[in-house]
Amino acid sequence: MRNHLTYNLLMKVLILIGTGYFMGCKPVIPVDENPFVRFTGSIDYHSQTLNRPLRYSVYLPAGYNKENKSYPTVYLLHGFGDNETSWMSGGKIDRIIKELEEKGEIEPMIYVMPQGYNSYYVNRFNGTLNYMDMFVEEFVPLIDSLYRTKKTPGQRAVVGYSMGGYGALILPVKNPDVFSVSVPLSMSFRTDEQYMIESQSAFDAQWGPIFGAKGSTGENRVTDYFKMHSPFHFFADEDAGSFSAVRFFIDCGDDEESLSFTNNEMHALMRSKNIAHEYRVRNGAHTWDYWLKAMREALMFIQTNFDGVAYADDPAFNLSTGFSGNIEQLNFNGKTLNVVLPSGYSTSSATYPVMYFMHHTLQNRLDETKNIMSSLDSLQREKQFILVEADANEFKTPSNLVELSAFVNNGYRTKKQKQGRLLLANFSGASVAYHTVSDYPELFESLFLYQPFVDSVTNIPEVRFIYLDTTDESQSYSIVQGLYSDCRKQNINHQYRVRNGKDSFNAFMHGLNNSIVYLGLMLNKTL
């Protein structure tokens, strides 16, 4: 009987296998009930320090489940009112990470996104929410125990936007034995002056519960606890060496309502104290679009520091002296001018806008002029303008530029109204350009200043548009910040940039190249 049953069972199995074979069925592959995923959101964890639940999200390297290796850790902090999912749901940060990984610009890292509880990532003054203690003493060790992290400060970075930007600053500053890289984006904080005039409702809701003095006004708000946590106090009061273990990358948009002033002042303070840092100002405001663009360079900055390599402070520009156009050299009152006419000038009877450039020569004037024209060549072909390049060492007074404009108008078919004239200047050439536009507002429509050295700043020029460009290591940073502040206060249309670099021709060429879209927009106004 048993043999008969065994025989029947065996036949049924063979029939099923044979049926599957002849019907083209594939062998059944076991299903992994727990497939590997890079992102896991809102992981629950109960904090002993806070005595409350804390959620966090994590984004792992693509090969995390295949290799038994350790990875650096990047902590991503969210802004006020957001949570541990915001970097993925709002920011889609995984897209930037994947793109840079595929290009080989960053290596795989572990990204951790904790819930911040509107804490500004510090301990409250009254001890009711000791968030920084929790983060450093409990949360980082937890992450190190659960994931294969590199457990040294040189392999940990903190990045954040808005409130998280302040967290990204304060956590490494106060804990350099835990974190080595600080990346504040649009850092939300206040100078003492801003803090004292903050509206009462905003102060009581956002700042008083953290730093104390809720309900207070004016100087009474600036408590000792606030000073302990204010970069405008600890950067000012301590030696630069106190912060040498931390690498700072600070980024804030020029359209921020007040935070651009806050971050500008912190940059100026750090410059004055010789605290090494990178500083960027790009076009944009308090938006994900801005932060994601900033994150491209920020992640490469982090990678460089994880590798123990110095970050390039004066990036190269692909200089070319191969400009093939015709440069006319003219003598004007004993001064040499370089003039480049648009391609259709000789066969047309049209009038043309004029772009004047007050050129501070650093090395070889003609070679530098050719490089400038190589960058402007496509724009000139499209917009059809006359370029007049003058040596800033020869044109030192506003009256020189007035005479030059009359000379060019008499010698060429130019648009005679101010809308037909743009003025560009770099380095010391910016001084005469600035004072010319200030003294003769009827002369130029727009002003473009690159790393400008202006001897004195009086009234902001009355022009349609001002473009201000400098580098984070330029000696012109305080001048440009002052001009930017004046433009904001007087509602003058402007753009403001701070880039990586020094006072070099390479750096200027980067600035000129970045401004071409705005040169084109201003030239459109002349048509």
Amino acid residing at 117: Y
pLDDT of residue 317: 83
DSSP state of 489: H
Report the alpha-carbon distance of residue 16 to residue 19 in Å, rounded: 5
Per-residue pLDDT tens digits for 441-486: 999 999 999 999 988 777 777 788 999 999 999 999 999 999 999 9
Cβ atoms of 444 and 420 within 8 Å: the answer is: no
Architecture (CATH level 2) of domain 327-524? 3-Layer(aba) Sandwich (3.40)
CATH for 39-189+230-306, options being 3.90.1300.10, 3.40.50.1820, 3.40.50.300, 3.40.50.620? 3.40.50.1820
Report the alpha-carbon distance of residue 316 to residue 384 in Å, rounded: 29
User: What long-range pairs does 62-71 form, CB within 8 A, spacing at least 24?
Assistant: 62/38, 62/101, 62/108, 63/108, 64/36, 64/38, 64/108, 64/110, 64/148, 65/36, 68/148, 69/148, 70/148, 70/149, 70/150, 70/151, 71/108, 71/109, 71/110, 71/147, 71/148, 71/149, 71/150
pLDDT of residue 314: 80
**Strand, coil or helix: 283:** coil
Residues with Cβ within 8 Å of 235's Cβ and at least 6 positions away in sequence, in order, are 243, 266, 269, 270, 273, 275
Q: What is the mean pLDDT of each run of 10 residues along the chain (527 residues)?
A: 47 46 52 83 97 98 94 99 97 97 98 98 97 99 98 99 99 99 99 97 96 97 98 97 97 97 98 97 98 98 97 81 81 95 93 97 91 93 96 94 96 94 97 94 95 82 91 94 92 96 94 96 79
DSSP state of 76: E
Per-residue pLDDT tens digits for 3-33: 444 445 445 444 444 444 444 555 555 556 6
Report the alpha-carbon distance of residue 35 to residue 41 in Å, rounded: 15
> Would you list the domain boundaries of the chain?
39-189+230-306, 327-524
What is the signed CA dihedral for 256, 258, 292, 493, rounded to 10 degrees? 20
For the chain, helix (H) and strand (E) counts, in that order, are 18, 16
Report the alpha-carbon distance of residue 493 to residue 417 in Å, rounded: 20
Q: Is 7 exposed, middle or buried (0-12, 13-18, 19+ CB in 10 A)?
A: exposed
Report the alpha-carbon distance of residue 469 to residue 511 in Å, rounded: 6
Question: What secondary structure does DSSP assign to 88-112, as a single string?
Answer: HHTT-HHHHHHHHHHTTSS---EEE
Beta strands across the sheet bearing 386-391 = 327-332, 335-340, 386-391, 354-359, 421-426, 446-450, 465-471, 494-499
**Strand, coil or helix: 390:** strand
Do domains 39-189+230-306 and 327-524 share one topology? The answer is yes
